Structure 1
């Protein structure tokens, strides 16, 4: 497992993981109420990347990224 430091690096890595194995990729989100932070993990069982944030601005970016990934996953596009 690798924690990615910046959102931009996480976004690129998440898209790369999905494009390399679209049928195996999954995304998991976990909210930590005590720290008010969100942790996101994208994995294909070979590569696992994680990102953790408590920034409202990064949460909005994550929402958009996850929405785009889910749209691709639901439509079957590569």
Structure 2
């Protein structure tokens, strides 16, 4: 089991591991409240990569990594990152034409 302390290195190695054997790669994450740690694990039963953190600042990176890896595992392309202010929603436009009343 390989324990990585740098998140960028973990994300890169996990991506390589998934790319090499997508049908056999599993990804799990677990929050241990008693330790206050979030533990990420990517494995293909031969190689196991682990990353653990107790820093709240890492949550944004972990959320992005989770979204990208899960999208790849589902066979879709990951969505581009949104702006820092949150998702942008355009106001809905009223329908043109007559609306039917019932």
TM-score, scaled relative to structure 2? 0.71
Q: Hey, what's the Cα distance between the residues in 1 that align with 2:63 and 2:36?
A: 16
Residue matched to 1:26 = 26
Q: Which runs of 5+ in 2 are unaligned?
A: 78-102
Where in structure 1 do 4 or more consecutive aligned residues deviate above 3 Å?
A: none
Q: 1:70 deviation in Å?
A: 0.5
The answer to which structure has the higher helix fraction is 1
Residue matched to 2:74 = 74
> Larger Cα Rg: Structure 1 or Structure 2?
2
Larger RCO (CA within 8 A; separation ≥ 6): 1
CA offsets 1:44-63 (integer angstroms, 9 cap, x no match): 11110000001112122111
Q: Give the root-mean-square deviation of aligned CA atoms.
A: 1.3
The answer to which structure has the higher strand fraction is 1
Residue matched to 1:36 = 36
Q: Hey, what's the Cα distance between the residues in 2 that align with 1:48 and 1:15?
A: 13
Residue matched to 1:2 = 2
CA offsets 1:13-37 (integer angstroms, 9 cap, x no match): 1101100011111111111101211
